[in-house]
Amino acid sequence: MSKSILITGGAGFIGSHVVRRFVNEYPNYKVYNLDKLTYAGNLENLKDIEGKDNYEFIKGDICDGPFIVSLFEKYDFDGVIHLAAESHVDRSIKNPMAFVETNVIGTVTLLNAAKNAWQGKEGKRFYHVSTDEVYGALGEEGFFLETTPYDPKSPYSASKASSDHFVRAYQNTYGLPVVISNCSNNYGPNHFPEKLIPLVINNIQQKKPIPVYGKGENVRDWLYVIDHARAIDVIFHKGENGETYNIGGFNEWKNIDLVRLLCNIMDEKLGRAAGESEGLITYVTDRAGHDLRYAIDATKLKNELGWEPSLQFEEGLEKTVDWYLNNKEWLEDIVSGDYQNYYKDQYQ
């Protein structure tokens, strides 16, 4: 094997697409997927690559220092692609401490292990996967650039911003070779159904109310998850150490317009009367501190590394709906479980 790669959070939504891509595209790499399997981790996401020679799953917690050190000793990683995180904004409002633990302490635990294991060694790389939410919220106009000052506004984005700062501090202080990307909202297969798009798809199927926060006027910038995995591949291999790359599809949607579009697609696919699912839309209390608008300028990634999204949104959304309709068991297994109460009493 030419490289030993640690991918954290590989059983989650984005991580599973990154693991699959690296296992399939790089048969000479050995890919180690380290995941704690929280409520959001699901090995069903990786069924198709289970058993491949260049893939190994390791169950474990990124906050467990001695265990992480032992993995670096045992597997002599050349690269780390770090995705493991608590990822849901609404949960961070209820349980901020879980986000401090995994997103901040977990990231620093990995950085420490990499710093010590890689001292005096060449050709190593620590890739930290982050979010556009670290930049805060936009008004009606403008875009997030790599140079936009950090202004996180939710406990989730504050924890991700903190982890980004630690990654840069490890480069500046200890010379650790790092690269960071900040991506906009992802959607696609295996998206956990507490997030807007799969939640809407599930509720339409079940004919349950579709909760739209506030007036539905908040704007998100959506990117197909496989395009994010492609971008991570390009940045991991061609990005410059110490650089930040924004990833996004120049694809802004008001929540209410997106929900209506999904209702139309689903009515057609399910053979329901036009407009039927829109009747399920229910305006509910807004998210506390709800960021109005995100919009990523991904020009640097296009100009310097040649990456562009491959799919138009309508096409990606249709593929996504088809995936959920063809994988009802995957969805049913999750929604029939008790995922909503995960962490309920632990951190209050």
Binding site for ligand DAU (CB under 6 A): 87-89, 131-133, 184-185, 195-196, 199, 211-213, 218, 220, 255, 287, 294
Please confirm, yes or no, whether 304 is among the known catalytic residues.
Answer: no
Bridging pattern class, strands 185-187 and 29-35: unpaired
Give the nearest distance from C-beta 45 to ligand NAD in angstroms.
8
The partner in contact with residue 199, picked from ligand DAU, ligand NAD, none with C-beta cut-offs of 5 to 8 angstroms by kind, is ligand DAU
Our CB check for ligand DAU shows the closer of 112 and 203 to be: 203
Single residue of 162, 185, 203, 251 touching ligand NAD by CB under 6 A: 185
Please confirm, yes or no, whether 347 is among the known catalytic residues.
Answer: no
CA distance 62 to 69: 10
Q: What DSSP state is assigned to residue 144? A: B
Please confirm, yes or no, whether 133 is among the known catalytic residues.
Answer: yes
Single residue of 80, 183, 229, 258 touching ligand NAD by CB under 6 A: 183
Our CB check for ligand DAU shows the closer of 24 and 297 to be: 297
Q: What angle do CA 272, 257, 130 make, to 5 degrees?
A: 115
Give the nearest distance from C-beta 271 to ligand DAU in angstroms.
25
Name the residue with the smallest CB distance to ligand NAD. Answer: 12
Spell out where 132-177 has E strands: none
The partner in contact with residue 192, picked from ligand NAD, ligand DAU, none with C-beta cut-offs of 5 to 8 angstroms by kind, is ligand NAD
Our CB check for ligand NAD shows the closer of 8 and 112 to be: 8
CA distance 214 to 289: 11
Binding mask 68-107 for ligand NAD (x = CB under 6 A): ---------------xxx-x--------------x---x-
Q: Token pair 């199927």 is at which residue?
A: 205
Single residue of 9, 79, 136, 239 touching ligand NAD by CB under 6 A: 9
Residue among 159, 35, 151, 150 at smallest CA distance from 96: 159
The partner in contact with residue 164, picked from ligand DAU, ligand NAD, none with C-beta cut-offs of 5 to 8 angstroms by kind, is none
Q: What DSSP state is assigned to residue 148? A: S
Contacts 24+ apart (CB under 8 A), 73-78: 73/117, 75/4, 75/6, 75/30, 75/32, 76/4, 76/117, 77/4, 77/5, 77/6, 77/32, 77/114, 77/117, 77/124, 78/3, 78/4, 78/5, 78/123, 78/124, 78/125
CA distance 138 to 161: 17
CA distance 53 to 29: 10
Question: Which residue type does 324 have?
Answer: Y
63 belongs to the binding site for ligand NAD (CB under 6 A) = yes
Point out which residues pair with 125 in neighbouring strands: 79
Our CB check for ligand DAU shows the closer of 130 and 171 to be: 130
Q: Which stretch binds ligand NAD (CB under 6 A): 29-37, 248-256, 269-277, 316-324?
A: 29-37
Half-sphere exposure of 326 (CA within 13 A, CB side): 8
Give the nearest distance from C-beta 267 to ligand NAD in angstroms.
26
Question: Which residue type does 108 have?
Answer: V
CA distance 301 to 17: 20
236 belongs to the binding site for ligand NAD (CB under 6 A) = no
Give the nearest distance from C-beta 336 to ligand DAU in angstroms.
19
Interface residues with ligand NAD (CB under 6 A) are 8-9, 11-15, 35-38, 40-41, 61-63, 83-85, 87, 102, 106, 129, 131, 160, 183, 185-186, 192
